Amino acid sequence: MAHVHLTELKCIRQQDITGLDEPVLFIAGIRVWNGKINRGQMIDAGLDVRREFSGSVLVELKENNGGDLDKNNKLLGSWTIPDTPRPTDKLTATSSGYHYELYYHVGS
Q: Write out the DSSP string of 5-56.
A: EEEEEEEEE-SSSSS-B-EEEEETTEEEEE--B-TT-EE-TTT-EEEEESSE
CATH number, domain with residue 45: 2.60.40.150
Q: In 3-state terms, what secondary structure has residue 4?
A: strand
What was the pLDDT predicted at 44?
A: 87
User: How many structural domains comprise the chain?
Assistant: 1
- Which residue segment(s) compose the domain that 69 sits in? 2-107
What was the pLDDT predicted at 75?
A: 96
What was the pLDDT predicted at 68?
A: 81
pTM of this prediction?
0.93
Rounded distance between C-alpha atoms, residue 101 and residue 61, angstroms: 10
Over the chain (108 residues), what is each successive 10-residue block's mean pLDDT?
95 90 95 94 86 97 86 93 95 95 94
The answer to whether 66 and 32 are in contact (CB under 8 A) is no
